[in-house]
């Protein structure tokens, strides 16, 4: 009897916990859930200086969730269509993680752009951009990456003269 009662109580606790964690399966008009297919992304014109980016003028940025200028979780999708785009060494104030969605992204950590130390990251690769850790990147073809961080985000170049937003 005790074993049956214990199993029953355990089942109720598990069911209640699942209900609290996963919630209702109904979708309301105010539901924040989104589904976006890559081919449905509406890319804006390339513009440098978008919050949470390197500021390179050839990067197209779409904010998928949140706002990188404000406190809280945000997710960006960046498209770099120009081959041989070089992004000089810089860092961001927030902790970020990124995934390569399309193409091959060449990425490295350090205080100075060094093509010999870039790592080729193909589709599906994940990398971290820890707060205030300098990194740099390059493309050899079209690349799309998705970055998630906790804002507010800012960008600081190692060499201020290399900051494309200051030119």
> How does pLDDT run across 56-85, given as a tens digit for each residue?
888 999 999 999 999 999 999 999 999 999
Flag whether the pTM goes above 0.85.
no
**HSE (side-chain half, CA atoms, 13 Å) at 92:** 25
Q: Is 63 helix (H, G, I), strand (E, B) or coil?
A: strand
pLDDT at 46: 82
φ/ψ of residue 19, rounded to 5: -65, -40
* Element of type H or E holding 2: helix 2-22
Q: Single out the residue of 95, 128, 122, 93 nearest to residue 109, CA to CA.
A: 128
pLDDT at 166: 86
Which residue ranges form the domains of the chain, and what is each CATH number?
44-166 (2.60.120.10)
In this model, does residue 30 exceed pLDDT 80?
Answer: no
pLDDT at 67: 93
Give me the helices (H) in 23-66, please: none
pLDDT at 1: 46
pLDDT at 16: 35
What is the average per-residue pLDDT within 17-40?
Answer: 55
Tens digit of each residue's pLDDT (9 = 90 or more) over 104-143: 999 999 999 999 999 999 999 999 999 999 999 999 999 9
Cα separation, 89 vs 56, whole angstroms: 12
Q: Do residues 163 and 89 lie in contact, with contact meaning Cβ atoms separated by under 8 Å? A: no
The counts of H helices and E strands in the chain are 1, 10
In this structure, what token pair is assigned to residue 4? 């049956």
Cα separation, 105 vs 123, whole angstroms: 8
Q: Single out the residue of 62, 99, 100, 85 nearest to residue 141, CA to CA.
A: 85
Cα separation, 34 vs 77, whole angstroms: 14
In this model, does residue 28 exceed pLDDT 80?
Answer: no
């Amino acid at each position: 009897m005790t074993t049956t009662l214990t199993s029953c109580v355990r089942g109720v606790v598990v069911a209640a916990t699942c209900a609290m964690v996963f919630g209702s399966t109904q979708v309301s008009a105010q539901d924040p859930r989104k589904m976006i297919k890559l081919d449905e992304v509406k890319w804006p014109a390339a513009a440098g200086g978008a919050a949470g980016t390197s500021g390179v003028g050839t990067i197209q940025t779409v904010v998928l969730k949140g706002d990188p200028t404000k406190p809280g979780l945000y997710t960006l999708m960046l498209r770099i269509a120009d081959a041989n785009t070089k992004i000089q060494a810089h860092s961001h104030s927030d902790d970020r993680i990124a995934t390569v969605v399309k193409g091959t992204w060449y990425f490295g950590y350090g205080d100075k752009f060094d093509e010999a130390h870039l790592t080729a990251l193909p589709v599906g690769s994940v990398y971290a951009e820890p707060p205030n850790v300098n990194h740099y990147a390059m493309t050899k073809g079209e690349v799309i990456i998705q970055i998630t961080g906790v804002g507010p985000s800012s960008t600081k170049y190692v060499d201020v003269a290399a900051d494309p937003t200051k030119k």
